[in-house]
């Protein structure tokens, strides 16, 4: 039994892509136009090997010890051989594709356009209606997308007679083969623009700045893209527009930090206010909001204001606002204030406080960790 793997120079574990690549390489090297008559027999061996290994069913038979090309071995010699692979190897035609019929059209769809849009945190919280300046390709108003100077029109290509393609005869093992390729003179269009429009250089479109209005929903974040179908570049030759993509870039806020749909901020309070309790006013995106600080509140504690966070993207409701308390201990005490604190310490029996370690799971470190992780 012939060793088809050795013929193609691949291992028995080679993938389908590796087998196809090896076959194409050898077929080009051994083609009679390249190797001459001496390579014809070797070319036939390579073609026979690929006929078996290039087909999953026949390869499976071969791996079981049955040569599908031998008499009674399943498929007959050359059965199912992919002639399209030969054409692809020699002439560059895509497997399974059909030759193009008729000239190509100058009218094509425009490309998609990506524009970055800066948004503030307030825009993200509530959503916003914006006007965005975009440079886009527009249909040329001088030629109306025809690509020709006013009063002129394309002329039929004399080389392909308007077909857009030319044919040539090539030699192969199959004899003389007719191949088709785009006309080199007209580029495959079948016509030539003798007098192109000077305003668009024969492209049928010009570059202009436009103002696009867009509703940016609440909850977007950096990297979020909004697609505006048919709002991108106009196509060459007056073709339809592509799509416009607006990619969000969220600016950092000087007070609030966003974590998902929630907002976080820090409220600084003096030690006395934390000890005695107070009602503090916090400026939110919804206006001033009162925060009730209970007596004895520790630094690192968190107060949650529900529904004052970021609007949820494509969902109802909003996140929460987490206010983290930072208690300040005074360092510039007057003599009178120092004396008052000493009296307070004496009353509380804290003149010589005994420091003690607290478990890692509790205390200020735990509260700070929970606040950072958004659990407060």
Look at residue 330 in the predicted model and tell me its pLDDT: 85
Answer whether 184's CB lies under 8 Å from 166's CB.
yes
Q: Which residue has better confidence, 174 or 1?
A: 1
pLDDT of residue 92: 45
CATH code of the domain in which 214 resides: 2.60.260.20
pTM: 0.62
24-31 CB contacts, 8 Å cutoff, 24+ apart? 24/85, 24/88, 24/89, 27/86, 27/89, 27/90, 28/89, 28/90, 31/90, 31/172
Task: Report if residue 309 sits inside a domain.
Answer: yes
pLDDT (0 to 100) of residue 52 = 87
Predicted confidence at residue 173, as pLDDT, reads 61
Same domain? For 236 and 315 the reply is no
pLDDT at 95 (0 to 100): 39
List pLDDT tens digits, range 106-139. Answer: 899 999 999 999 999 999 999 999 999 999 999 9
Residue 242: which domain range? Answer: 113-149+195-250
pLDDT in tens, 290-301: 999 999 998 889
Nearest 5°: phi and psi at 79? -65, 135
Same domain, yes or no, for 322 and 362? yes
The confidence band for 31, taking pLDDT boundaries of 50, 70 and 90, is low
- Reported as a single tens digit per residue, the pLDDT across 55-73 is 888 888 888 777 877 765 5
User: How many folded domains does the chain comprise?
Assistant: 4
Same domain for 173 and 261, yes or no, is no
Cα separation of 153 and 156, whole Å?
Answer: 10
Which pLDDT band holds residue 36 (cuts at 50, 70, 90)? Answer: low
Average pLDDT over residues 19-39: 75
pLDDT at 97 over 60: no
Residues in the chain: 376
DSSP state of 237: G
- Contact (Cβ atoms closer than 8 angstroms) between residue 326 and residue 297: no
Whether residues 125 and 243 share a domain: the answer is yes
Q: State the DSSP string of 171-209.
A: EETTEEEEEEEE-TTTTTSSEE-SSB-TTTTTSSEEEEE
pLDDT at 141: 93
Q: Tell me the pLDDT tens digit for each residue of 249-279.
A: 999 999 999 999 999 999 999 998 988 999 9
Question: Does 217 reside within a domain?
Answer: yes
64/166 same-domain check = no
pLDDT at 369 over 80: no
């Amino acid at each position: 039994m012939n060793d088809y793997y050795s013929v193609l120079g691949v291992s028995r574990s080679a993938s389908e892509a590796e087998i196809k690549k090896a076959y194409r390489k050898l077929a080009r090297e051994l083609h009679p136009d390249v190797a001459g008559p001496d390579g014809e027999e070797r070319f036939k061996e390579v073609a026979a090997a690929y006929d078996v290994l290039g087909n999953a069913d026949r390869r499976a038979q071969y791996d079981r010890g049955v040569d599908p090309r031998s008499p009674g071995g399943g498929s007959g010699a050359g059965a199912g051989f992919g002639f399209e692979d030969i054409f692809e190897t020699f002439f560059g035609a895509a497997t399974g594709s059909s030759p193009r019929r008729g000239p190509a059209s100058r009218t094509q769809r425009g490309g998609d356009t990506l524009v970055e849009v800066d948004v503030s945190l307030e825009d993200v919280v509530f959503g916003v209606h914006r006007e965005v300046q975009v440079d886009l390709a527009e249909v040329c108003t001088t030629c109306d997308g025809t690509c020709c100077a006013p009063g002129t029109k394309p002329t039929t290509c004399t080389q392909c007679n308007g077909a857009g393609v030319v044919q040539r005869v090539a030699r192969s093992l199959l004899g003389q083969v007719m191949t088709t390729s785009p006309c080199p003179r007209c580029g495959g269009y079948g016509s030539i623009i003798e007098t192109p429009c000077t305003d668009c250089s024969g492209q049928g479109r010009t570059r202009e700045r436009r103002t696009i209005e867009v509703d940016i929903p609440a909850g977007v974040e950096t990297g979020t893209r909004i697609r505006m179908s048919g709002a991108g570049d106009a196509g060459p030759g007056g073709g339809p527009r592509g799509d416009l993509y607006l990619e969000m870039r969220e600016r950092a806020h000087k007070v609030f930090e966003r974590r998902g749909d929630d907002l976080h901020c820090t409220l600084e309070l003096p030690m006395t206010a934390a000890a005695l309790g107070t009602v503090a006013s916090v400026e939110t995106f919804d206006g001033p909001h009162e925060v009730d600080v209970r007596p004895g509140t520790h630094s690192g504690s968190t107060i949650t204001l529900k529904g004052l966070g970021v609007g949820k993207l494509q969902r109802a409701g909003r996140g929460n606002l987490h206010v983290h308390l930072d208690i300040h201990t005074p360092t510039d005490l007057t003599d009178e204030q120092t004396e008052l604190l000493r009296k307070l310490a004496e009353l509380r029996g804290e003149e010589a406080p005994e420091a003690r370690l607290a478990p890692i799971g509790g205390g200020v470190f735990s509260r700070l960790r929970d606040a950072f992780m958004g659990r407060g």
